[in-house]
Structure 1
Amino acid sequence: MSATSDANAVPKPQLSEWETLSALRTQLEADLFQTNKATLFQALDVAGVTKIVVTFDGYGDSGQIEDVQAQAGDGDVTMPGSVIEIMAAVWGQTEPERSTVSIAAAVESLAYDVLERTHCGWENNDGAYGNIVFDIAAHTITLDYNERYTATENHTHSF
């Protein structure tokens, strides 16, 4: 490059420490989600579970999982009682926090992760409701999300 083109180059702004840590955490969370999903799906497959259906509902700045159903084929089954290890990102740390949890707790954790990754604030105001389906054979998690809102229509007429 010539000295002229170097002099005309627009300098790239430096990322702040917070932006750098945030980017690292976002990437770590994405990686851990895939790892946790694979661990959970393997445990569910071994237990013979073919599908998990999680029902959620949120409104008024509060939200929760309403129901979790485990299925094997077309029938409902009891959630396996075994435990697995899942990992979570911790702000400012490059290594994740490891926890041994029940399969039911891991399902809830991934369900909340799916909601937060796609619709942060799903529990606020009029809220949202729906289902999260864990299809073990297809190795997918599908979110069916319904957002509530209040609409107002105003009509003013002068004659």
Structure 2
Amino acid sequence: MPDTDNDEYAAKRNSIFEELAQHGVERITVVFDGGGDEGQIDSIEAFGADAEPIELDWSSTNDPAVRSMHDVVEEFAYEALDGVPVDWCNDLGGYGEIEIAVPTGSIEVEVTKRFEASETSHWER
């Protein structure tokens, strides 16, 4: 995970979580996939109480570039992935999900790393 002792990161995280809470967002699921020296976020889904979907289509009030909240969350997710000690985007890469729980402020990253296996057998008759 990113350096959570960094004051700039903490302030950014707090402002994002505060704005999400103001719009009724309780949980966000981010799906990512990577390999061959590339990686991308495939989807971002936000949910409110009772798991109803919420679109992240409003302009973020805490973003100096006034981007959509979807773009802000995407950037935040990439920052979270930068701190994961698993190389999910090089070689065969990996895939997974980021679960963001807004009320508790928790961020959980689950990565499944792809690998290639080989097995050698030898027989003589």
TM-score normalised according to structure 2 size = 0.83
- What secondary structure sits across from 1:112 in the alignment? helix
**Structure 2 residue 28 is matched with structure 1 residue 62:** no
Residues 49, 38 of structure 1: alpha-carbon distance in 2 compared, 3 angstrom cutoff: same
For 1:55-134, list aligned pairs within 5 A. 55-73=31-49, 74-85=51-62, 99-119=65-85, 121-134=87-100
**1:19-53 CA-partner distances (Å, limit 9, x unpaired):** xxxxxxx9698433222111100000011111111
Tell me if structure 2 keeps the 8 A contact 1:55–1:66. Answer: yes
Tell me if structure 2 keeps the 8 A contact 1:85–1:101. Answer: no
**Structure 2 residue 37 is matched with structure 1 residue 37:** no
Residues 28, 132 of structure 1: alpha-carbon distance in 2 compared, 3 angstrom cutoff: closer
- What secondary structure sits across from 1:32 in the alignment? helix
**Structure 2 residue 118 is matched with structure 1 residue 152:** yes
CA distance in 2, matches of 1:158, 1:84: 72
CA distance in 2, matches of 1:139, 1:27: 15
The residue aligned with 1:23 is none
CA distance in 1, matches of 2:5, 2:65: 15
CA distance in 2, matches of 1:104, 1:31: 23
Structure number with the bigger relative contact order (C-alpha 8 A, sep ≥ 6) is 2
Q: Residue 39 of structure 2 aligns to which amino acid in structure 1?
A: G
Indicate the larger mover: 106-115 or 41-50: 106-115
- Deviation of 1:69 (Å): 0.5
Residues 52, 27 of structure 1: alpha-carbon distance in 2 compared, 3 angstrom cutoff: closer
The two structures, once aligned, show a CA RMSD in angstroms of 2.4
Identity of aligned residues (%): 27
- Deviation of 1:144 (Å): 1.4
CA distance in 2, matches of 1:64, 1:109: 11
Residues 117, 27 of structure 1: alpha-carbon distance in 2 compared, 3 angstrom cutoff: closer
CA distance in 2, matches of 1:33, 1:146: 26
TM-score normalised according to structure 1 size = 0.67
CA distance in 1, matches of 2:67, 2:58: 10
